[in-house]
Structure 1
Amino acid sequence: MNPSAQPPVLSPERLAGAYTYAAYRQLIEQLMAEGKTTGENQSEDLTAYARLNIQRMERLDKKAELMPEMQQALNNLTHNYEWVVLTEGWCGDAAQIVPVLEKIAQASHGRLRTRYLLRDENLDLMDRYLTNGSRSIPKLLILHADTLTEVATWGPRPNEAQNLLLELKAAGATHEEYAEKIHGWYAKDKTRSTQQELLQILEQLT
């Protein structure tokens, strides 16, 4: 479909009200100081997950490194894009992926601009991008910067992690069991799969 014939994914006003990465991180920190996390559902378990996620994001902010091929693809971009990310502070996958998305955008010389929306405050948007019928996050929406029409989407996790999750759930794993396995996978993968899948998308944009 011609991009000009597509409807915008969201309005400029709604995009303007989205969080920057710094504001998103600040929100999570402020809520944690109150013993809370994002969203209407609050529990000790969710707060505990959010606390771990802050640590995960801090670690990735400091240690995650972009692959040389990623930087090359970013250098080749000739148009500007909005990266709209549906996320929540309690989501473990978001904690493993959002810092990587931010690093990629920061290295794009202004070609990619990230904005973050909380899933549960934007269910009308989330429900257009379900994964196997579920509101799985994080979900990246890549939009043309001028028209806010959809270019591509990605998420909620790399294919290998997604397949592992489905296998574990099919085998009857509890939330704690599959969360441990998935985060172990992320630790070994060191963001490579996330970067490689996003690299394939970026190379199609150039």
Structure 2
Amino acid sequence: MTDSHMMTSPITHEHLAKAITYGQYRELIDLLLAENKTTGNDHSEGMVEYTRMNMHRMRRVEKTTVLEDELVQQMLSLQTKMVWVVLTEAWCGDAAQNVPAIVKIADASPFVEVKLLLRDENPEIMDAYLTNGGRSIPKLIVLDAETLEVQGTWGPRPEPAQQLVLDAKEKDVPFMQMAEQLHGWYAQDRSRTLQKEFKQLIPKWGKLVSLNEQLVERCS
């Protein structure tokens, strides 16, 4: 879990104009897979196969992610218009496990719009949000919708998953073995840890109005 607050963003209105919705992202991946391609420039058999696996993962996350009531109430009480920009790629397993859940959380609020940008097409943005010096994705950058000021960030994965990856690298665990452990963790967690982290971060990102305050506003 990561967070930064009130930073100047390299993301401009031009970037947002070319960004895509989650639905468009899913359609793009389908079109590319029909041509045995993926996003980015590496269309090798391995990368295409990772992308096919990720489509299954995204569908599973879409079905199995159930938002906690407390998180839904947080999102409904949010009064700050925000744009959640997600850097992603179709071949990235962590993106497949997290982006659908992030979108589901965002969809719980009428004040949040999600925009997706492909990492390799936007290196100037990615390089402003490195993780331990690496271009790790997915990376969420939370912007004030009016000013495009950065309200916070998250990514590339929930803290326990991040620790799993760091430990595996330190112990020189083979990539495929590490990936199996990582995706096993995701399957058991069902986005619960991501939701827990977002419940801590959302009050830092935007103004929350209590139910009583909402009632007063509606009556006035």
TM-score of the aligned structures, taking structure 2 as reference length: 0.89
Give the conservation status (yes or no) of the 8 Å contact 1:102–1:114.
Answer: yes
TM-score of the aligned structures, taking structure 1 as reference length: 0.95
Residue 163 of structure 1 aligns with which residue? 163
SS of corresponding position for 2:94: helix
Residue 192 of structure 1 aligns with which residue? 192
Deviation per CA, 1:10-54: give whole Å up to 9, x if none.
111210110111111111111011111100122111111100000
Residue 10 of structure 1 aligns with which residue? 11
Tell me the distance in 2 between the aligned counterparts of 1:84 and 1:14: 10
Deviation per CA, 1:51-102: give whole Å up to 9, x if none.
0000111111122110111101111111110000000000000000000011
Are 2:119 and 1:127 equivalent residues in the alignment?
no
Give the conservation status (yes or no) of the 8 Å contact 1:139–1:154.
Answer: yes
Tell me the distance in 1 between the aligned counterparts of 2:198 and 2:36: 34
Structure with higher RCO (Cα < 8 A, 6+ apart): 2
* Structure 2 gap ranges (5+): 209-220
Measured after TM superposition, the shift of residue 8 of structure 1 is 4.1
Residue 178 of structure 2 aligns with which residue? 178
Measured after TM superposition, the shift of residue 173 of structure 1 is 1.1
Which one-letter code corresponds to 2:54 in the other structure? N
Residue 138 of structure 1 aligns with which residue? 138
Which one-letter code corresponds to 1:62 in the other structure? K
Are 2:40 and 1:33 equivalent residues in the alignment?
no
Give the conservation status (yes or no) of the 8 Å contact 1:9–1:150.
Answer: no
Percent of pairs identical after alignment?
48
Runs of 4+ in 1 over 3 A off after TM superposition: 6-9
Which one-letter code corresponds to 1:42 in the other structure? H
Give the conservation status (yes or no) of the 8 Å contact 1:81–1:142.
Answer: yes
Tell me the distance in 1 between the aligned counterparts of 2:167 and 2:179: 13
